[in-house]
């Protein structure tokens, strides 16, 4: 919220040295570019300064064609098409502010929560003009991609898969990144052959509970934020209040936030209510606890898209339609199994047409026990506390306006 001048050096150089977990490798990669390719770093910084000055000129909706390079060493890493579809759906919710958890944005911040007006689709034409699903699968002998060498994932000759032209596609590589790194991006201005984002396969799309708390596809939302010129909300300034993100409506913030704090959360840089905006996609909170970009971030991203990445707006890559994900591909799960009557019902790939998903619980004689209704989304969860019920088998049914799903479970 203060003048950005002088903070740009810090943006690139002051972030490392945090000994604790690090979710995002973007600053590390940018630091490597600073060390080894100063002319590229200069270009990135110039673009950053130019796009800072621009303001919004239109609210037109833009669509960016995507190619997903799945670079896998084993079956688990070779994510299926549905998983990719769920990621595209999450991006289209988050960047259009259609995500059902916007209701969790605290009231003081909700007015600045923005529909970015950018959508994503899987490309329908490859660089030669031939039809493609927009999903490329490449086997690799590489079992783990360490951040220092991970740009190799972008090179066929190095065991990865070459970028498609960055002027026409957003390249997303999905691979097994080193522990602690969920993903990373390069900033606008990086060379075309490394342009794009890299996401750990465990954190791509709607994942299972083993990927919690980074299981809802928001690593990709965050990294595409970087790719469109955003920096972390805390300013990457090594825990001080000197640096900031250059965005007018994100509060100053001391450092990254982990977990899922209660609102409000104040810190040394934002000592007054409403404190820091830890639910911003450009922080490090759990996927289930982030739910917003701001109007200021929207201006920055659209400025980058309309200037530096404008060729994407006239891309000939086309778009594949993602079929509405039908009920037979949806996942209904209950955990823990069995349970003591306190449990969570999770539904994925089951966004409905009526705006809500209805949960109902019955006993085995068909008697209705309890129910709830939630805003429809690709991934919703409902906690239930029925610990007063007698042990036995029960049935949960969910309805999205078109399809029913049901599953039995046991209360011990």
Q: From the CB of 367, what's the least distance to Zn ion, in Å?
A: 50
Residue nearest Zn ion, Cβ-based:
24
With respect to Zn ion, which residue has the nearer C-beta, 26 or 105? 26
- Within 168-270, strands assigned E span 170-175, 183-185, 197-200
d(CA 343, CA 387): 9
Smaller CB distance to Zn ion: residue 238 or 324? Answer: 238
- Tell me the site size for Zn ion, rule CB under 5 A: 2
Contact between 32 and 152 under an 8 Å Cβ cutoff? The reply is no
Closest C-alpha among 274, 278, 298 to residue 288: 278
Residue 315-344 contact track with Zn ion, rule CB under 5 A, x = bound: ------------------------------
Interface stretch with Zn ion, choices 9-17, 20-28, 47-55, 79-87 (CB under 5 A): 20-28
Q: Quick one: angle between helices 26-36 and 38-53, nearest 10?
A: 120
Q: Which among 77, 93, 223, 244 is annotated as catalytic?
A: 223
Tokens linked to 54: 């621009």
Of 84, 63, 66, 67, nearest to 323 (Cα)? 84
Distances from the Cα of 385 to the Cαs of 212, 361, 370, in angstroms? 21, 12, 10
**Which among 17-25, 41-49, 257-265, 312-320 is the span making contact with Zn ion, rule CB under 5 A?**
17-25
Is the Cβ–Cβ distance between 394 and 369 less than 8 Å?
yes
Which is it for strands 392-399 and 356-363: parallel, antiparallel or unpaired? Answer: antiparallel
C-alpha dist (Å) from residue 152 to 142, 263, 289: 10, 41, 32
Nearest approach, Cβ of residue 198 and Zn ion (Å) = 12
Helix then strand count (H, E) for the chain reads: 7, 13
Q: How far is the CB of 275 from Zn ion (least distance, A)?
A: 21
Give CA torsion, residues 268, 220, 2, 244, to 10 deg. Answer: 60
In eight-state DSSP terms, residue 192 is G
Q: What are 84's two structure tokens?
A: 């990719």
User: Which DSSP symbol is given to 331?
Assistant: E
Output 252 or 398, the one with its CB closest to Zn ion. Answer: 252
Give the residue with the Cβ less far from Zn ion, 213 or 371. 213
24 binds Zn ion (CB under 5 A): yes
| Catalytic residue check, 223 | yes
Cβ 172 vs Cβ 184: under 8 Å: no
305: Cβ contacts below 8 Å, ≥ 6 apart = 62, 64, 118, 228, 312, 313
State in angstroms the smallest separation of the CB of 70 from Zn ion. Answer: 22
Instruction: Considering the complex, state which of residue 93 and residue 236 has its C-beta at the smaller distance from Zn ion.
Output: 236
End-to-end, the C-alpha distance of the chain in Å comes to 53
Shortest distance (Å) from residue 87 CB to Zn ion: 17
- Specify the stretch interacting with Zn ion by CB under 5 A; choose among 25-33, 46-54, 133-141, 324-332: 25-33
Q: How far is the CB of 222 from Zn ion (least distance, A)?
A: 5
Residue 230 or 396 with smaller CB distance to Zn ion? 230
Distance in angstroms (rounded) separating the CA atoms of residues 20 and 308: 34
Q: How far apart (Å, rounded) are the C-alpha atoms in residues 239 and 255?
A: 5
Q: Compare residues 213 and 324 and give the one whose CB is closer to Zn ion.
A: 213
CB of 39: closest distance to Zn ion in angstroms? 24
* Rounded least distance, CB 28 to Zn ion, Å: 10
Q: Which of 7, 10, 12, 26 binds Zn ion (CB under 5 A)?
A: 26
Q: Which stretch binds Zn ion (CB under 5 A): 16-24, 126-134, 135-143, 305-313?
A: 16-24
Reply yes or no: is the peptide bond before residue 274 cis, omega within 30 of 0.
yes
26/150 with CB nearer Zn ion: 26
Stretch that binds Zn ion, among 21-29, 126-134, 158-166, 388-396 (CB under 5 A): 21-29
Which of 24-32, 91-99, 114-122, 143-151 is the region at the interface with Zn ion (rule: CB under 5 A)? 24-32
Dump strand ranges (E) for 11-159. 62-72, 118-122, 135-139
Q: Which amino acids are annotated catalytic?
A: 223
Which residues of this chain interact with Zn ion, rule CB under 5 A? 24, 26
């Amino acid at each position: 919220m203060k003048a950005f001048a002088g903070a740009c050096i810090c943006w690139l150089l002051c972030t490392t040295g945090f000994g604790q977990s690090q979710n995002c490798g973007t600053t590390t990669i940018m630091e490597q570019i600073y060390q080894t390719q100063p002319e590229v770093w200069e270009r990135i910084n110039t673009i950053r300064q130019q796009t800072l000055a621009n303001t919004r000129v239109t609210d037109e909706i833009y669509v960016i064609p995507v190619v997903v390079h799945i670079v896998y060493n084993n079956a688990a890493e070779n994510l299926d098409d549905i998983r990719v579809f769920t990621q595209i759906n999450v991006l289209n919710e988050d960047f259009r502010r259609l995500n059902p958890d916007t209701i969790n944005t605290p009231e003081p911040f909700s007015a600045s929560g923005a529909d970015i007006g950018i959508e994503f689709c899987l490309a329908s034409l490859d660089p030669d003009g031939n039809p493609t699903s927009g999903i490329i699968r490449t086997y690799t002998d590489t079992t783990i991609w360490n951040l220092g060498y991970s740009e190799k994932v972008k090179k066929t000759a190095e065991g990865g898969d070459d970028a498609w032209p960055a002027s026409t596609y957003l390249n997303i590589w999905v691979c097994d990144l080193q522990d602690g790194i969920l993903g990373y991006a390069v900033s606008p201005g990086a060379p075309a052959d490394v342009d794009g984002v890299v996401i750990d396969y465990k954190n791509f799309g709607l994942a299972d509970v083993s990927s919690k708390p980074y299981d809802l596809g928001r690593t990709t939302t965050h990294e595409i934020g970087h790719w469109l010129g955003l920096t972390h909300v805390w300013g990457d300034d090594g825990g001080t209040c000197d640096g900031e993100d250059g965005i007018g409506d994100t509060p100053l913030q001391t450092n990254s936030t982990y977990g899922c704090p209660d609102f409000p959360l104040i810190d040394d840089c934002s000592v007054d209510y409403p404190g820091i905006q830890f639910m911003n996609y450009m922080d490090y909170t759990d996927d289930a606890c982030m739910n917003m970009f701001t109007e200021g971030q929207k201006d920055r991203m659209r400025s980058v898209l309309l200037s530096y990445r404008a060729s994407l707006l006239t891309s000939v890559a086309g778009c594949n339609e993602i079929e509405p994900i039908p009920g037979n591909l949806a996942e209904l799960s209950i955990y823990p199994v069995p349970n003591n009557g306190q449990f969570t019902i999770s539904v994925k790939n089951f966004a409905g047409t009526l705006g809500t998903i209805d949960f109902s619980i019955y006993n085995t004689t068909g008697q209705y026990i309890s129910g709830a209704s939630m805003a429809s989304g690709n991934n919703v969860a409902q906690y239930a506390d029925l610990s007063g019920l007698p042990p036995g088998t029960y049935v949960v049914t969910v309805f999205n306006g078109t399809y029913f799903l049901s599953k039995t479970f046991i209360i011990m």
